[in-house]
Structure 1
Amino acid sequence: MRGGAVGGRAVRICGVLLLTLLVLTAATASGAPRGGPAGATGGRGPLTVVTGRDLTGYLHEVLADWNRARPAERVELVELPEAADEVHAQLRDSLRSGSARYDVLNIDVAWTAEFAGNGWIAPVDRTGVPDSALLPSVLDTVTYRGRRYAVPYVTNAALLYYRKDVLDREGLEPPRTWDELARQASTLSRKYRMHGYAGQLLPYEGLTVNVTEAIQSAGGSLTGPDGEVTVDTPAALAGLRFLTEGLRAGWIPEAALGYKEESSRQAFQAGELLFLRNWPYVHTLSSAPGSPVAGKVGVVPLPGRHGTGQGVLGGSNLAVNARSPHPRSAADLLAYLLSEDVQRRVLTEGALPPVRASLYTDPALVRRYPYLPVLARSVASSRVRMKSARYEQVSLAIAAVTHGALTGRVAPEDALRRLDREVRDILLK
């Protein structure tokens, strides 16, 4: 009897151990949060931050300072490829699988709604940084359906770069409207044997942004205030025609149909372009010692149909993986990365536009980065991209359909009618 009881207890113990092992194995295979639930760790512990490639290396140093101060919440930085499309694909696949590999995600502002809508990132209820300390327009990039799912980290708005030496020689002010831009780009490019104007017109997210900016700068939009599709309108047609007619007239070179950010920047910096639409990082590179156009570059807000244009907000937000086992540490890290000291380093070491409003009027910084006041105005007048969990599909449709119009395969009005139908189909799925 006694031996049978011992044997039975041993069998039961072995059964419990086996069941426990099976549960743990299943949890690991399903991507359950490492380190157990947040309650088991008080929500604190080491973190992994994922980002696109850090081209300047500044983020390594910023996080090294955090690690020295908080060794129990040490941060590992994972860098994905430079191309935004690749970063998006890798993050989407990881989050869709339920992985907790990454705690904090540095994501493009256009992805915030998608990630929130799919339940991949957690609402952000505290940052320790008052809204009044941030540029007002960037706050719109972190909300989805009335709730915040991220904090702004880096902002961006396109600028118009121009050859100041050429315009000064001609006694001309930089263009404020499309008509002025077209006239100067046409006449001066021939006289100085340069191309007139270029943006990023290869069919990818850059083209979507360029087309959206043109439509907005003509008074149009892709969607209305209640989410209704507003693609097929006279204003949107005027915006698309600004680009198609520029290509047909030749003041936008055919080469622009293959430009992305870097290829267009290189063309401008090599002295091949009179005007360039691009992001703020171009100013630092084109004005650096050794640049063929150093000391010859000016910058103004984007021109529009009847005055200053309306850009598209770029930049990145910081979000917390909904499955992170250490959300309290993650929240503290977000507050640290929004601190004035780190935000200053974002600009001075990372060459990226910060989201702290005070830095745009800091006299020492304005002397060092004279484009800051122009950038502040451009950020204030820019609009956030469409907030939809299906934004990526919409962006692909915009780029594909409008590229057909730019290359002359499709009339602009036909392209917009088709795009209107495709956007409706995507959003109503």
Structure 2
Amino acid sequence: MSVSRRGFLAGLGGLGTAALLSACGSDSSGSSSSSAGGGASGSFTGKGPITFAIGKDTTGKLQEILDGWNKAHPSEKATLKELSESSDDQRAAMIQNFQVKSDAYSVVAMDPIWVSEFASQQWVQALPSGTDTSKLLKSSVDSATYFKKLYGIPFNTNGELLYYRKDLLKAAGVGVPKTWAEMWAAWDKVKGTAAAKGMTAYAGQLSKYEGLTVNFTQAVLSAGGTLFNEEGKPTATSDGAKAGLQALVDGFTKGYIGKPNLTYKEEESRQAFQDGKVMFLVNWPYVYAKAAATDGSSKVAGKFDVAPVPGIGSGTGTTVLGGWNLGVSSFAKNKASALAFAKYMATEDVQKAWTLASSQAPVATSLYSDAEVIKAYPYTETLKKALDNAGTRPKVHNYGDVTLAIQNAVYPALSGGTGVDDTLKSLQTKLEALAK
């Protein structure tokens, strides 16, 4: 599973008939027979059977959602093509099909970091101008956009949150931190107390893997910086990028971030917080249910809460998005049906059913004030605030090379091997070469 698609929260929910039958009608641009619309045509024409390729559904609910579409559209049946649970394997399977111009996949579930690659290779089609996304989270729509063109309909989203020990903050008489400076100041008030014995201030995902790219990008964005500008040119030596990396490095050198963080991925950092070893944690929403468990597995149940990730300096805390965007393959048949199906998956009834069943965050804005969703996921309104100000990892056609360059540059800086300026100058040079 991708680091960016950790669940909204472990939850249960039924799929009512109304949700199943509330289908979005087929796109009006497509009225030809099922044999039309194949190849790499740029038009969204052709109605008929389609296939939906997505990572393995561990909930068992996705087929029920497709059954709803199929009942309402018997001549445009959608067949589920479940791929591996591994996001790398999913991407590889999709690319293999694209490279031979196969029509085996009509609609593909893209991680936001794949959108730029798939779009630049013309493997997925830009959606018609004027496609209505007004009822969807703006940040999720942005994650499906490449050079101002929309290449997918958002299906679900995700963003990291700041988990904090509310009991320790209350005892110290300090509020919830909105900046890294406030976070460290709060820890300085707490660290000498008996309750903080054996603890450090902070945990994140800082091992040398994709989570490091997520955490570093969040720090840069939260300091008001970028790694690439809107024209796709690297900006790794910008003031904001320097401030973001400096904050992480200072966290280690000043003892706020413990050395074990250099080995932490999602689960290791979650366990550290859940075991009462850290006061603050940045991680995905799936952690909430595990940390709140009252079966004895969590030492912080009832003692924590969540907030948006903190800002750095004068910057506003900015989480990095995860999730799935549904793109239409350039080689698909029946593109009108494929586009209509993608829109159907973003309708409110489908979104609610999938959210309650899968624990994944919805893209329909209305659900963030839905009483049933809030009851199931108590942090829903906080997550909405985080998602409203969310950003993305670099939108580049060769993301795999870029993320490796980031990890190879940043990790030595965190472990004390290189200085901030030298690190970012080296990274800038590498990114400029990759951008050519």
- TM-score tier by shorter-chain length is 0.7 to 0.9
1:60 to 1:192, Cα distance in 2 relative to 1, 3 A: farther
2:237 to 232, 235, 253: 232
TM-score calculated relative to the size of structure 1: 0.84
User: 1:54 Cα deviation (Å)?
Assistant: 2.7
1:403 to 1:73, Cα distance in 2 relative to 1, 3 A: same
1:158 aligns with 2:128: no
The corresponding residue for 2:37 is 38
2:365 to 357, 361, 386: 357
Identity, % of aligned positions: 39
1:243 aligns with 2:248: yes
CA–CA distance in structure 2, aligned partners of residues 150 and 228 of structure 1:
24
The corresponding residue for 1:84 is 87
CA–CA distance in structure 2, aligned partners of residues 382 and 318 of structure 1:
19
How do 1:23-422 and structure 2 match up within 5 A? 38=37, 43-125=46-128, 130-185=132-187, 188=190, 191-290=196-295, 291-292=297-298, 293-306=300-313, 308-422=316-430
CA–CA distance in structure 1, aligned partners of residues 292 and 185 of structure 2:
26
AA at the equivalent of 1:139: V
User: 1:216 Cα deviation (Å)?
Assistant: 1.6
8 Å contact from structure 2 (residues 205, 261) kept in 1? yes
CA–CA distance in structure 1, aligned partners of residues 290 and 133 of structure 2:
32
The corresponding residue for 1:17 is none
CA–CA distance in structure 2, aligned partners of residues 177 and 195 of structure 1:
18
User: 1:180 Cα deviation (Å)?
Assistant: 1.8
1:185 to 1:52, Cα distance in 2 relative to 1, 3 A: farther
AA at the equivalent of 2:37: A
CA–CA distance in structure 2, aligned partners of residues 286 and 57 of structure 1:
25
CA–CA distance in structure 1, aligned partners of residues 67 and 293 of structure 2:
28
| Structure 2 alignment gaps of length 5 or more | 1-33, 40-44
User: 1:384 Cα deviation (Å)?
Assistant: 2.8
Segment of structure 1 superposing worse, 177-186 or 153-162:
177-186
User: 1:197 Cα deviation (Å)?
Assistant: 0.9
User: 1:113 Cα deviation (Å)?
Assistant: 1.4
TM-score calculated relative to the size of structure 2: 0.83
Structure 1 counterpart SS, 2:433: helix
The corresponding residue for 1:424 is 432
AA at the equivalent of 1:388: V
Structure 2 counterpart SS, 1:415: helix
AA at the equivalent of 2:241: A
**RMSD of aligned alpha carbons:** 2.4
AA at the equivalent of 1:210: N
Structure 2 counterpart SS, 1:196: strand
CA–CA distance in structure 1, aligned partners of residues 311 and 86 of structure 2:
29
1:186 to 1:36, Cα distance in 2 relative to 1, 3 A: farther
Larger Rg: 1
1:39 to 1:235, Cα distance in 2 relative to 1, 3 A: closer
| Structure 1 alignment gaps of length 5 or more | 1-34
User: 1:72 Cα deviation (Å)?
Assistant: 3.9
Structure 2 counterpart SS, 1:182: helix
CA–CA distance in structure 2, aligned partners of residues 73 and 136 of structure 1:
29
AA at the equivalent of 1:196: A
AA at the equivalent of 1:321: S
1:345 to 1:266, Cα distance in 2 relative to 1, 3 A: farther
8 Å contact from structure 1 (residues 185, 197) kept in 2? no
User: 1:187 Cα deviation (Å)?
Assistant: 5.4
CA offsets per residue over residues 173-208 of structure 1, 9 Å max, x none? 221111121233455356232232111112222111
Structure 1 ranges of 4+ moved more than 4 A: none
Aligned length: 392
8 Å contact from structure 1 (residues 58, 349) kept in 2? yes
Q: Whose RCO is larger (CA < 8 A, sep 6+)?
A: 2
